[in-house]
Structure 1
Amino acid sequence: MEYVTILDQYILKVSENGLDWSTQTCLVAFVCAIGAICQDPHVETPKSHNSWDLEQNTDVAYSIWFMCNLQPLEAWRYFTMAGNSCYSAIWAMESTMPAGPENFPSSPQAIKQSIFYTAYKSEVEIRYEIPSLPGSMLEHIEDRLTFPSPPAANCLVDETIAWYYFLADIAARHLINRIIDAKVEISGCVSEAQARSLLRSYEVFGSQLQDWYLSLPPEVSFPPPDATISLETNLYKRILRSRYLFIKELLCRPFIRLCLDCALELPGALDDEIASIASLGLRYCVWRLKAVDRMNKLDHGLWIWIRNSTACSMILIGAARSLQFQSHIASGRLVLPQDWRETVVGFLQGLEKYSHETRGGVAACYRLVTWGLGGFEPNSPDII
């Protein structure tokens, strides 16, 4: 009995920390393999579905708790565990699941899909911010990121709207993944061919984003920003609008970098087009900072939002510095939004309550933006 207790401890350790090269992991793998061989594949143990659901829900709950506590590494571990187990459970059962009412959003399979997408999306978002994380099964399943089945005809209106939201969010995630996978490394002087290749990608992905936006049902659609942007009270619309703004800014980001980091020697019309897109990207940085006020609400998206907002703030500060010192001819063509500084200051003031929060590198974000704003005082002659 003592050996069984020790084995249970080993299994628990491996399930919490993942596989490694230790003898404990080796022993657990042997035991699992022997158990799988000895089990009759036609006999389903009483543990099956309810146990899976409990474990996956628990892992996601742990992850959300850690994200609320600004501990992304711990959250990533549990999101990965939940996503991996959901992925295995969903597609192991996929061929045996009958079509029809059982695949409606309230079915066990649909619930597993919702849990899986939550874990997958969160794991990917954390990985974007911390690219040095170890590999995961969830990195390579883009083609298996399927859309949920439609709700029943007699379902509640809220269920239908939630379905619309999930369809739109998954489609946006597909587009974000494609944009990131298509990134082009830029160093030194950029050639005309490279610049035109970037423009083609911008146009293709921009067209796909416009198609995505036009396909949104009225229940989850939102007005695109024009001269200003206002707070959106509807949760689904607010989240989808943030996806839209993120994609727009992401598409413009390479052109901002061209203007700030590279000495461009391109035909005049091409130079102007690059500067125009870069200037639009700066405006989207401001809109992203204004679109959501998360400082008064502690939720599992706070850490990601702080990181994204810090990036937008530093892009604006970098553009302002470049204009201040006229470091490149191309940067002199940038149009910096007039309200850039007050927008960044507004973000910084909200972040002040976390200025001593060392978890998740939040205090470092606060110090970085504070340092970047140095020299851009309201009455300074150097203000842009």
Structure 2
Amino acid sequence: MCTFQPIKAWRYFVQALASCQQFAFLTPESQQRYHSSQQSGNELHDHSIDTLQQAVYWSSWKSEREMRGDLYLPDFSLSDKELAFYPPFFPTPPAPKAEIEASSDPRLARERTSWYFYLSEISLRRLASRISAEMVGLQTKHPRRQAYLAAAAAAVRH
């Protein structure tokens, strides 16, 4: 038998996010190093720890945002713009050598496929968040329904 406790579950996701704040990959310096190594093709750093930490971070972030919306909980006192977007980076992909090994190992191939699903879900959530923020902005700018619909139609055409 199970007892669902959504408020308690949400609190655990918030606590997980608070714990994630100590992860090194969240520092601007770490992000800069990662992007520099990607551009230069220099793969000296083993990103496996970053990948695991980022998976925990993103899963906690996504789950907290979903539960907050479902439970109609008040949001943090951030601006609408800050709340509208997910963190400005994507999780670090698994090491390239894993992709070579994946061609011969079905388990690694499934893992890689799930990784692409994970990245696409993040992309779709970011897109939905940006669309929602844009719609809220249009509604604020055009409070009358007809003006709002005209502005939304004009935005879609461009």
Q: Taking structure 1 as the reference length, what is the TM-score of the superposition?
A: 0.30
1:163–1:133 CA distance, 2 compared to 1 (3 A): same
Q: Distance in 2 between matches of 1:173 and 1:95?
A: 24
Between the two proteins, the alignment pairs up a number of residues equal to 133
Aligned equivalent of 2:56, options 97, 115, 131: 115
- Show structure 1 runs of 5+ residues with no match: 1-67, 205-384
- Where does residue 196 of structure 1 map in the other structure? 150
Q: Percent identity?
A: 26
- Where does residue 374 of structure 1 map in the other structure? none
Runs of 4+ deviating beyond 3 Å:
96-99, 136-141, 184-189, 200-204
- The residue type equivalent to 1:157 in the other structure is A
Aligned equivalent of 1:154, options 75, 82, 101: 101
Q: Distance in 2 between matches of 1:87 and 1:136?
A: 18
Cα displacement (A) at 1:136? 7.5
- The residue type equivalent to 1:160 in the other structure is R
RMSD between superposed Cα atoms in Å: 3.4
Answer whether contact 1:86 1:116 (CA < 8 A) is retained: yes
Bigger radius of gyration: 1
Q: Distance in 2 between matches of 1:158 and 1:71?
A: 32
- Where does residue 124 of structure 2 map in the other structure? 172
Q: Distance in 2 between matches of 1:70 and 1:203?
A: 45
1:179–1:140 CA distance, 2 compared to 1 (3 A): closer
Cα displacement (A) at 1:167? 1.5
Q: Taking structure 2 as the reference length, what is the TM-score of the superposition?
A: 0.65
Cα displacement (A) at 1:82? 0.8
- The residue type equivalent to 2:152 in the other structure is L
Q: What is the 5 A alignment of 1:51-70?
A: 69-70=3-4
1:139–1:70 CA distance, 2 compared to 1 (3 A): farther
Q: What is the 5 A alignment of 1:1-384?
A: 69-89=3-23, 90-92=25-27, 95=30, 100=43, 102-103=46-47, 107-135=48-76, 139=83, 142-151=86-95, 152=98, 153-155=100-102, 156-184=108-136, 185=139, 190-191=145-146, 193-202=147-156
Cα displacement (A) at 1:69? 3.8
Q: Distance in 1 between matches of 2:144 and 2:85?
A: 36
Answer whether contact 2:90 2:119 (CA < 8 A) is retained: no
**Comparing both chains, which one has the higher relative contact order based on Cα–Cα distances under 8 Å and sequence gaps of 6 or more?**
2
